[in-house]
Structure 1
Amino acid sequence: MEETQPPEVVNSRRSPRPLRLLVGISICVAFVVVVLGAYTRLVDAGLGCPDWPGCYGQLVVPSTDEQIAAAEALFPDTPVDQAKAWTEMVHRYFATGLGILMIGIVVLAWYYKSSLRFPLFLLALVILQGAFGAWTVTLKLWPQVVVAHLLGGFATLLLLWWYMLTLGSFKLPEIATKFRAQLYIFSALLVVQITLGGWVSANYAALICPDFPLCLGTLLPEMDFVAGLNFFQTIGPDYTGGEMSYEGRVAIQNLHRWAAYVVFVFGLILAWRIREVPGLVLGLAVCAQVALGISNVLFVLPLPIAVMHNAGAALLLLVVFTLLLQSRPLREEQSSEP
């Protein structure tokens, strides 16, 4: 049976410039949304506004004494913290802007008689992301939803980048197809590692081990993997600060570290094998991401480094996905659409 090929990287003709431009802008906005989402989590602003889509029942953060009094009367258990509320709302504004851009992409694709499959799928994904954003608030940072929201943001960015390439915006040089299987394996390892990182963050386990490379002064501290990998935590509690047991957090932090070692070694070996510019880019991206992760521990989770660690994960995923596309035989196609 003939293998079904995914959309090509190179097309014989480019899609209309307005469509390519709008997709390019959307990629930038999607990256900003990912970074803002990380920043919001790291400053504990996920519940800066206790309702959704507004903030204390308003479209903007309450600012006057009267507005603050009314807001706190409406949500007596959640005093207004303007800094956290604005952080959350700026994130929502950018996410809303991304949704509007997705609608624009669908409209332009229809106008230029391009395939609507990919644009409609992207629009549906962004709408789902909006739902995850709402559930993140209404379910009070339930870790399962927080991680799903994180992965959805990465998926949106990745698919937008893929769509940009299918539009024939630029050509990618080929690399040997023999690396394709290894790149698939590395992609899977990277997704697992990103998921573990999100799980560590959602359960407030980033600094549970204050030392490196040891954890609590030993290679094998007391750990509870059953608690750490409990993906059925109950709905109801406010998960700000985390509800997982101490030993469970130690377990998932160590899992994240062990997975990082595997990703680091596999990534460097793969980069060395690919060589040239693509291999160099991969090697640098892997090293930078590991260095940022170690710095998070050694410097006690400084905000700029922690945000860069999240952004670096997204960029590394884009690098690996691009290499995966480069490892495929490139064919000129009559259509510039997926």
Structure 2
Amino acid sequence: MNGNYRRLALAALLLALVVVSLGAYVRLSDAGLGCPDWPGCYGKLVGVPDQAHEIKAAEASFGKPVEAPKAWKEMIHRYAAGLLGLAILALAAMAWRQRQHRKPWLEILLLAVVTGQALLGMLTVTRLLKPVIVTSHLLGGMSTLALLAVLVLRDQGTRRAPPKALPGGLRVLGALALFAVLVQIALGGWVSSNYAAAICADFPTCQGRWWPEMDTHHAFTLDRELGATASGALLSGAALTAIHWAHRLGAGMVLLLAGGFGLRLLARAETRIHGQWLLAALLLQLGLGIANILLQLPLPLAVAHNTGAALLLVTTLAATARVFQRSEARHRYTMGGFTRQFQTVR
């Protein structure tokens, strides 16, 4: 791919990180329903009602007061997401024109994910912040970010010959670390969409106990409304505690797997820089998580924790890709050597 494609892919990756952070800001500042309709806001595709006659008409049509600050937060997020969608569409078009050199499956997948994201964005509003939809929307944003990272990393394989062979166990550990980070992001999204972050105000215990009272059944029932059980009853504090505690347990698993992976990378010269970035992102994210608990979720720290999850995902993905790329490059080099020897014998 040419330089324009690579620059656009990198710009889209950075924009995706901004969109993920904006989405967290909208959700955590309770602005997710700042606009009661989609894709416009109170019937306006550009801007929000700000004139007296516009506000009066909007309130009459939608039956709720216009809260301009919240509406603007939501619309800025939508505009940024729309710009990201256009960038991904452009990447797909550029890749399609070059399909004789490389199949554009990744770009087409990205386009499908971003289309699904638009649908989830609409359902988030129309289904009044249903937790499973909000969490799916967050995961869709993270998936978009991860696929764009793969796009950027795809052409950065190892070109040095001969590359040093990496232990097979390192690939397994990298895959496990990446899986743990993905599961932890899903658990974090479930905490956020259920507003369960503040249920435990102490650390490392929760409510003064190492194993607090929990209701895992209602906590992880997916098909229910916000703040309610599947039967419509009020969701209990024990259920919120279970959601929060599961996220803490997930953090421990990420610390073990991603931390162990980072330390293994740090011990090897050819992967040291990836180990440094991974461990830095991991420690930052753990620090932000603990600070959010102890300081009771100040908005800047809560948004930073979401952004930190995105950075941890990208650094873990980059490190894992590096390990797999080097292993594959080593395999190609070895096979090439066998081929050259065979041709010499012939």
Question: Could you tell me the TM-score, scaled by structure 2's length?
Answer: 0.85
Distance (whole Å) between structure 1 residues aligned to residue 174 and residue 204 of structure 2: 27
What is aligned with 2:24? 38
Q: How far apart are the structure 1 equivalents of 2:238 and 2:13?
A: 39
Equivalent-residue separation in structure 1 for 2:210 and 2:196 (angstroms): 17
Q: 1:52-63 residue pairs with structure 2 within 5 A?
A: 52-59=38-45, 60-63=47-50
Counterpart contact for 2:174–2:258, Cα < 8 Å = no
Q: Determine the structure 1 residue equivalent to 2:69.
A: 83
1:302 matched to 2:298 = yes
Aligned mates of 2:176, 2:247 — CA distance in 1: 18
Deviations 1:10-35 (A, max 9, x none): xxxxx111111111111111111101
Equivalent AA in structure 1 for residue 180 of structure 2: L
Structure 1's 135 and 200: CA in aligned 2 closer, same or farther, altered over 3 A? same
Q: What SS is found at the alignment partner of 2:24? A: helix
Aligned equivalents of 1:227, 1:235: Cα separation in 2: 12
Counting only pairs closer than 5 Å after superposition, residues 161-200 of structure 1 correspond to structure 2 as: 161-168=149-156, 176-178=166-168, 179-200=170-191
Percent identity of paired positions between Structure 1 and Structure 2: 41
Please say if 1:73 is aligned against 2:71: no
Residue of structure 1 aligned with 2:121, choices 133, 137, 142: 133
By how many angstroms is 1:273 displaced? 2.1
Unaligned runs of 5+ in 2: 267-271, 333-346
Query: Which whole-Å CA distance do the structure 2 matches of 1:245 and 1:278 have between them?
Result: 43
User: Which one is further off, 163-172 or 243-252?
Assistant: 163-172
1: CA distance, partners of 2:136 / 2:72: 23
Q: Verify the 8 A CA contact 1:174 1:327 in the aligned structure 2.
A: no
Match of 1:210 in 2: 201
TM superposition shift of 1:112:
3.9
Higher mean alpha-carbon deviation, 40-49 vs 274-283, is at 274-283
Equivalent of residue 279 in structure 1, options 275, 279, 285: 275
Residue 288 of structure 2 corresponds to residue 292 of structure 1: yes
Counterpart for residue 9 of structure 1 = none
CA shift for structure 1 position 161: 1.2
CA distance in 2, matches of 1:66, 1:289: 46
Asked if 1:47 corresponds to 2:33, the answer is yes
Structure 1 stretches of 4+ moved >6 Å? 169-175
**In the alignment, what sits opposite 1:264?**
255
Amino acid at match of 2:329: R
| Aligned-partner Cα distance in 1 for 2:227–2:220 | 19
Whole-angstrom CA distance in 2 between matches of 1:30 and 1:249: 30
Q: Distance in 2 between the 1:243 and 1:115 partners?
A: 50
Superposition deviation, residue 263 in structure 1: 1.4
Following the alignment from structure 1 to structure 2, what is the Cα–Cα distance between the partners of residues 296 and 195?
18
Matched residue of 1:211: which SS? Answer: coil
Name the counterpart of 2:329: 331
Q: Which structure has greater helix proportion? A: 2
1:124 and 2:122 aligned: no
Partner of 1:152: 140
| Superposed CA offset, 1:187-221 (max 9, x none) | 11111111111001000001011111111111122
Q: Which has the higher contact order (CA 8 A, sep 6+)?
A: 1
Structure 2 residue 2 is the aligned partner of structure 1 residue 16: yes
Q: What is the TM-score when the length of structure 1 is the normalising length?
A: 0.87
Which residue number in structure 2 is paired with residue 6 of structure 1? none
Displacement, 1:274?
Answer: 2.1
Match of 1:143 in 2: 131
In structure 2, the partner of 1:7 is: none
| Unmatched runs of 5 consecutive residues or more in structure 1 | 1-14, 334-338
Shift, 1:91, TM fit: 0.4
Q: Indicate conservation of the 8 Å contact 1:225/1:248, yes or no.
A: yes
Distance in 1 (alpha carbons) for counterparts of 2:308 and 2:165:
23
Deviates more, 1:304-313 or 1:211-220: 211-220
CA contact (8 A) 1:212 1:294 kept: yes
Alpha-carbon deviation of 1:98?
Answer: 1.0
Asked if structure 2 preserves the Cα contact closer than 8 Å seen for 1:177 and 1:327, the reply is no
Amino acid at match of 1:30: A
Aligned length in residues: 314
Deviation at 1:268?
A: 2.3
Give how far 1:44 is off. 0.5
Distance 1:162 1:175, change over 3 A: farther
Structure 1 residue 314, shift from structure 2 partner: 0.8
Letter in structure 1 aligned against 2:133: V
